[in-house]
Structure 1
């Protein structure tokens, strides 16, 4: 027997523990932020400028780089001072 496909979009996994959700411009992303890619959160390990500050190339461990051109939802670790 087959399972009927739902028209609902798959839900996002819960965000990484100890992070806060925010929409960031490419120039505001930091190393250590988390980005949702292909159903899992990937931590930004490094980044490169792509010509201007309007573009960033985000580098991850075990995932292809992402060229960030527009604002995107990221999860930033909460720091306590």
Structure 2
């Protein structure tokens, strides 16, 4: 993760959005295959997903273990 020093405190800074995407706020029910999510300081593209019951989704990526999206969050959607 990238950090910027400001007043002797380090605050995380998001890397630039993936090219050709727009930032949006989505619930787990609104995410789509092909969207990007920032996890561990890197953008991961959703390759597949499954319902985890209720309004949660298990998101699958290439080269990273699945991740459960339980709450609304920032998603980068291809334009």
> TM-score scaled to structure 1, two decimals?
0.84
Contiguous gaps of at least 5 residues in structure 2: none
For the residues of structure 2 that align with 1:27 and 1:33, how far apart are their CA atoms? 13
Cα distance in 2 between the residues matched to 1:73 and 1:10: 15
- The alignment of Structure 1 onto Structure 2 pairs a total of residues equal to 73
For 1:7-59, what per-residue CA distance to the aligned partner results, in whole angstroms no more than 9, with x for missing partners?
1213111000110100100000000000000001000000000123x010000
Superposed structure 1 runs of 4+ greater than 6 Å apart: none
Instruction: Quote the Cα distance in structure 2 between the aligned partners of 1:39 and 1:65.
Output: 16
Which residue of 10, 13, 28 maps to 1:11? 13
Which residue does the alignment assign to 1:57? 58
Higher Cα Rg, which structure: 1
Instruction: Show structure 1 runs of 5+ residues with no match.
Output: none
- Mapped partners of 1:8, 1:57: distance in 2: 31
| TM-score, normalised with respect to structure 2 | 0.87
Instruction: Measure the CA separation in 2 of the matches of 1:20 and 1:31.
Output: 15
What is the Cα-based RMSD across aligned positions, in Å? 1.2
